[in-house]
Amino acid sequence: MKIGFIGLGIMGKPMSKNLLKSGYELVIMDRNPAVLNEVAALGAEIASTPKEVAEKTDIIITMLPNSPHVKDAVLGENGVIDGAKSGAILIDMSSIAPLVSREVSERLAEKGVEMLDAPVSGGEPKAIDGTMSVMVGGKKAIFDKCYPVMDVMAGSVVYTGGIGAGNTTKLANQICVALNIAAVSEALVLATKAGVEPELVFQAIRGGLAGSTVLDAKAPLMLDRKFDPGFRIDLHIKDLANVLETSHELNVSLPLTAGVMEIMQALKADGMGDLDHGALVRYYEKMAKVEVSR
């Protein structure tokens, strides 16, 4: 099976490599020539436009930064919609607004093209080792048909409902992650300010009710002062903007999410937007005038 892949960024590049390793033929497109050549060296074919990608494949995957980028690649000039054949399938694995997923799906349906919205969670490390979580919306029959393709890139692929449900689930995921990182930050800064070793606090609480995947993943990085991006603050701001836009459309109040969004915006203003979202701890450190470390 020949698959199209548009968007070879931090997540898309390792995802495309995992497809190649599993024996799929790939047609790729990105604006970065160096990345294109890197993936092409593994056997992928390079295309110059999303239209060309769609013309040569039956399943097209998009992994792009946000809603406008997806709309442009799919519905814009020389977009996927111009090259896709009736019966083709678009799997949009970007994290975008659910209403945009529905809009794109409706336009594609006019040409007989199916769509799944299938955002991912796990960051670059899990994209590299193929253990991401994928949350998928769309027709169940299309999900079943595409499951083997998504499974190659993931440790968990879960059907969540109709089109848009995948991105709604991702928004819920990003709320939980952001608030959890903020809670870990507050806890470790408090311990440090009180003169208690944050490493010992981490070890003491991780086995109880406070334990979580976020705690285990982010606390050691905070303690080691490692803030290289697995998932950048800028990208989490983008996701929380989609969360709050959707919540306002639905008249849902999300005060904790709004609070963490403001913290991230403060860090971005301090030049930290390219750091990992675990750098949330640096906001609290600045306020408390301490540094969390081993």
Q: Which among 135, 162, 189 is the end of a domain?
A: 162
Going 13 to 14 to 15 to 16, the CA torsion angle's sign is positive
Q: How far apart are CA 71 and CA 63, in angstroms?
A: 12
Question: Is 102 found in the same domain as 63?
Answer: yes
pLDDT at 177 over 90: yes
Q: How far apart are CA 79 and CA 259, in angstroms?
A: 38
pLDDT of 47-67, one tens digit each?
A: 999 999 999 999 999 999 999
Question: What is the tally of structural domains in the chain?
Answer: 2
- Average pLDDT of the residues in 207-228: 97
The pLDDT-based confidence of 123 (bands split at 50, 70, 90) is confident
- C-beta neighbour count of 252 within 10 angstroms: 11
Question: Is 226 found in the same domain as 104?
Answer: no
pLDDT of 256-273, one tens digit each?
A: 999 999 999 999 999 999
Q: Would you state the pLDDT for residue 282?
A: 98
The pLDDT-based confidence of 124 (bands split at 50, 70, 90) is confident
In this structure, which amino acid lies at residue 184? V
Alpha-carbon dihedral angle through residues 268, 226, 282, 125, given to the nearest 10 degrees: 60
Task: State the residue range of the domain holding 229.
Answer: 168-288
Question: Is 138 found in the same domain as 263?
Answer: no
Question: Is 259 found in the same domain as 207?
Answer: yes
pLDDT of 141-169, one tens digit each?
A: 999 999 999 999 999 999 999 999 999 99
Going 162 to 29 to 150 to 66, the CA torsion angle's sign is negative
For residue 111, being part of any structural domain is answered with: yes
Q: Would you state the pLDDT for residue 125?
A: 86
Give the residue, 154 or 124, on which the prediction is more confident: 154
The residue from 170, 238, 268, 286 that is catalytic is 170
Question: Is 230 found in the same domain as 156?
Answer: no
**CA angle, 271 as apex, 269 and 277 as ends, to 5°?**
90
What percent of the chain shows pLDDT beyond 90?
96
Q: Would you state the pLDDT for residue 147?
A: 98
Q: Which among 142, 162, 182 is the end of a domain?
A: 162
What percent of the chain shows pLDDT beyond 70?
100
pLDDT at 229 over 90: no
Question: Is 274 found in the same domain as 130?
Answer: no
Active site annotation includes 170: yes
Q: What is the CATH number of the domain that holds 96?
A: 3.40.50.720
Q: Would you state the pLDDT for residue 228?
A: 93
Question: Is 183 found in the same domain as 81?
Answer: no
Q: Which residues, 6 or more positions from 161, have their beta carbon under 8 angstroms from its beta carbon?
A: 137
Q: How far apart are CA 231 and CA 123, in angstroms?
A: 5
Q: How far apart are CA 64 and CA 73, in angstroms?
A: 9
pLDDT of 82-108, one tens digit each?
A: 999 999 999 999 999 999 999 999 999
pTM: 0.89
In this structure, which amino acid lies at residue 40? A
Q: Which residues, 6 or more positions from 220, have their beta carbon under 8 angstroms from its beta carbon?
A: 202
